[in-house]
Structure 1
Amino acid sequence: MSSLTDRTSVARRRTPLNRSQIAGFWGAWAGWTLDGMDSFIYALVLTPALTELLPRSGYAATPANVGLAGSILFALFLVGWGLSFIWGPLADRFGRTKVLAGTIFTFAIFTGLAATSHNVWELAIYRFIAGVGIGGEWALAGTYVAESWPEDRRKMGAGYLQTGYYAGFFLAAALNYTIGVHFGWRAMFLTGAVPVVVAILVLLRVKESEKWQKAEASTVQVKPLREILGPTYRRRTWVACILLTIAIVGLWAGAVYEPSAVIQLATKAGMAKNDAIRTASLATGLLSIATILGCLALPPMAERIGRKKTLAIYFTGMAVAIVGSFGWAFYLPNGLAPFIAWLFVLGFFGGNFALFSLWLPEQFETRVRATAFAFCTSFGRFVGAGVNFLLGAAVLHMHTLGVPVALTALAFIVGLFVIPFAPETKGEVLPQ
């Protein structure tokens, strides 16, 4: 009986985190939170910003022009996200903390500069460069936490880290209800410059990961992009790209069209415009809370049943939730309440992104890890952007929102057939 108690005590004991590991995590988490905040700020202030800047650029601020310019600026932002793979090789060459701070500096400074825009062209340039910074933050934050946290804690650290992005949605909404309402869209962009403080904290308070230092000292310089596409890593690189692309398609389909769907259903239920918008905000909050819960539930599940089975469960949940919400509840006579209930399920399984923060670092050695993480996420963003525009065209063509978005569930079905080709890393330590 005594030996059983001793074993239970050891199993529950976790390696304590030192000050640098704690500061590093909060720096990475804050950067990822402010990354989510920055992304959502743009969605919140797009219409008022373009309404002011289009006439200064020689165009009338008609709803059609605002919509067209908004789509073009969003496309440029996504291209910037895709080009963020440049940060990976830099991090493998110069270290995680310096380059992580660089990504935060980039998106913070150029988000702040967006507040000074005199015309739509300047805003487009600032958003494009901010996108390059934002896109690199996840890869660098995920790599740093995986390498710097103790082996018995890094899996849960991946789940904790991923919650930051969705916490950023809440932060952006809160800022919009306070600062945005009273001081306008330029003040909102200025708040996006605050992460500079986090970047300085990362540089001054956080030590480089020991794994990277050892790899840097013991290996000759490699060309990491060539290596992850070479014979050793080619299969797992492309499988990870496909799985991340599927996850991103599902995220954007749900996140981009969810507010519009709720507003349509609320209006159909007889709500006034302002009440419908408030309902959409509450629904978005519910979606975010559910996603945070999904992120926290995922690491223990992945440790118990394995990475591949966990992703299969989350992908199946996404497919069912997308069909249930956009394919079924959206078309019910009184579909608002069922749709919002399905959003909770959709949000929970949207936490599948936490698995990639946990799983991708386990599939690659230290010398190429950041490059692999950045490349796989950037590839998914490029393809996801194309799918998102096809979805927009389908919505316009079919004159309905539900069916086109519901069809994205097919991507997750494809993902179930791709998962078996990925490596199972349950029980393995992070490779050096």
Structure 2
Amino acid sequence: MTEVQTQQAWYRSLDRKQWRTLAAANLGWLFDGFETYALILTAGVALKQLHPEAGAQTPFYIGLTIAMTLLGWGVGGILGGIAADYLGRRKVLLLSITLYSLFTGLSAAAWNWESFLVLRLLTGVTLGSEWGTGTSLVAEMWPAHARAKAAGLMQCGLGLGFFLASAAWHFIAPLGPGAWRYMFLLGVLPALFALWLRTGVPESDRWTRVAKRRSTLRGQASLTEEERSYTRFTLRQILSDPRMRRLTILGSIMSAVTTCAWWGISTWVPAYVGSMAAKDGHNAESYASTAGMIYNVGAIAGYISLGFAADRFGRKPTVFTYFAVSLLLTPVLFLWTHDLTLVLLLCAVNGFFTLGQYTWMPVWLPEFYPTHLRATGAAFVFNAARFIAFLGPLLAGSIIAALGGYGTAATVVGLIYIVGMLVVPFCPETRGRQLPE
């Protein structure tokens, strides 16, 4: 950080291109968040209409539907990250937003639960490719002293999307048994954003330089080992180079912790609060929607706070704290609190840490990899976890169905946060460092 930067507010050194890049990544993630939380909120209603014979096994089918979305997300995310390293950040971001708008809209036309499952899988494939691309673009456009802050501001788009989905469902849910279809029709709107993305957002200069170098080196017979890293397939390079492989393994374990825990625990928060409200004689869907909004207000604050804390205190202590508090809050919310008002308050605190912790990925992962591998590496770590994490909803759904309650399932799955706490100390501290070239 230069002397001039220390004497002025962090944001005054930024230009319009950097802010437009952040806005594009934030909006792309907001649309992803809306679509994802729309599924969480409506899956139960949709499956009652599409698969009424499920009966007591409905939680299992909800878990299966969410799991298929996660599985598609993992595949699409890795493919999208690879494509972004070869084709460019902006182009892949544009393609991703256009395609997931299409498949989200088609989900509204599902005629049975099998068709809904297939459409959710395809939507997941297109959703997945957005994050790694946007994350790499923001990291490469923003300076070192503000990069983590930008990551937090970008990541909060997911919480904003979750909040908007909760708010929309609050008004759409009363429209009848087919109301869930309107939620997915709203998911078509992001396609309009793609028109602005084509002209208003620049390509990363770092990627442009790397693309030129890769093109120059391709076909040459005599290359150094460093030059060969530009010509090897990006996924092979991050898994074969010893240093890249170590960072990829560490990041993937932490990513699996964050992702498996969230999808296996926190996706049940609205349904859990709704069930509590129903026992007290209140409207379950209204309280579920309210819980979702409160949870995501906390999450938005958590996303942003992690980025600022990572720049202030460092990556390691910040991420460790988020894991530790998430571990503690899970039984507090699901087992030890029985007052409905207090549970709603705890939803905000829980959201701050359990969903807010996702910001560690756009903060830390771009700092693990050089530019020519960044989108592939970040996307692989972020998305490969879904090949394990998709089991979270299935496991939790099965436990809920077997035991008839959310508390035990959430507490058991929540123990995975201990693994994240054990891995954090082995990762490099990268606060204030320039991105590796």
Instruction: State if a TM-score over 0.5 links the two structures.
Output: yes
Instruction: Tell me by how many angstroms 1:419 deviates.
Output: 0.9
Q: Is the 8 A contact 1:159 1:298 kept in 2?
A: yes
Given that 2:68 and 2:390 are in contact with CA atoms closer than 8 Å, whether structure 1 keeps it comes out as: no
Change (3 A) 1:427 1:133: same
Q: Deviations over 1:363-416 (max 9, x none)?
A: 100111111111111221121111331222222333332122112332112211
In the alignment, structure 1 residue 206 sits paired with structure 2 residue 210: no
Alignment partners' CA distance in 1, 2:6 and 2:372: 36
Q: Say if 1:186 and 1:337 are closer, same or farther in 2 by CA, change over 3 A.
A: closer
Aligned residue in 1 for 2:257: 246
Give the TM-score, by structure 1 length. Answer: 0.89
- Asked if 1:422 corresponds to 2:427, the answer is yes
Q: Which moved more, 1:243-252 or 1:394-403?
A: 394-403
Note the alpha carbon deviations across 1:303-344, whole angstroms, 9 max, x for none.
Answer: 222101111111111111112222322xxxx43334333323
Alignment match of 2:99 (pick from 106, 111, 123): 106
* The 10-residue stretch of structure 1 (113-122 or 31-40) with the greater mean CA deviation from structure 2: 113-122
Following TM superposition, by how much is the alpha carbon of 1:67 offset from its aligned partner in structure 2, in angstroms?
A: 5.3
Deviation at 1:141, TM superposition (A): 1.4
* Equivalent residue, structure 2, for 1:290: 298
User: Secondary structure at 2:31's aligned position in 1?
Assistant: helix
Tell me the secondary structure at the aligned position of residue 232 of structure 1: helix
Show the 5 A alignment for 1:6-45: 10-12=7-9, 14=11, 16-45=13-42
Unpaired segments of 5 or more residues in structure 2?
218-230
Is 1:353 the counterpart of 2:358? The answer is yes
Deviation at 1:61, TM superposition (A): 4.8
* Distance (Å, rounded) in 1 between the aligned partners of 2:89 and 2:317: 30
User: Do residues 190 (structure 1) and 198 (structure 2) align?
Assistant: no
Q: Counterpart of 1:254 in structure 2: which amino acid? A: I
C-alpha distance in 2 between matches for 1:66 and 1:321: 27
Aligned pairs for 1:208-287 (under 5 A) are: 208-219=203-214, 220=217, 221-230=231-240, 231-268=242-279, 270-272=280-282, 274=283, 276-287=284-295
CA distance in 1 between partners of 2:168 and 2:413 (Å): 32
1:16, distance to aligned residue in structure 2 (A): 4.1
Find the aligned partners of 1:70 and 1:14 in 2 and give their Cα distance.
43
Q: Within 1, Cα distance between the matches of 2:160 and 2:298? A: 11
1:337 to 341, 351, 371: 341
Distance 2:82 2:5 in 1: 42
Task: Give me the whole-angstrom Cα distance separating, in 2, the residues matched to 1:123 and 1:7.
Answer: 55
CA distance in 1, matches of 2:358, 2:141: 20
How do residues 80-229 of structure 1 correspond to structure 2 at under 5 angstroms?
A: 80-84=72-76, 85-179=78-172, 181-182=174-175, 184-219=179-214, 220=217, 221-229=231-239
* Contact 2:60–2:394, Cα closer than 8 Å, also in 1: no
Identity %: 32
Distance of 1:94 and 1:15 partners within structure 2: 32
1:424 and 1:151 map into 2 onto residues whose CA distance is 13
Unaligned runs of 5+ in 1: 1-5, 55-59
Deviations 1:231-256 (Å, cap 9, x if unpaired)? 13011101000001111122223322
- Are the structure 2 counterparts of residues 53 and 411 from structure 1 closer, same or farther at C-alpha, using a change threshold of 3 Å? closer
Tell me the amino acid that sits aligned with residue 30 of structure 1: L
For the residues of structure 2 that align with 1:45 and 1:401, how far apart are their CA atoms? 18
Distance in 2 (CA, whole Å) between partners of 1:157 and 1:310 is: 16
CA RMSD of aligned residues (A): 2.4
Within the alignment, does 1:400 sit opposite 2:405 as a pair? yes
- Structure 1 runs of 4+ off > 6 angstroms? 6-9
Aligned residues: 415
Question: C-alpha displacement at 1:283, in angstroms?
Answer: 2.1
8 Å CA contact retained: 2:145, 2:432: no
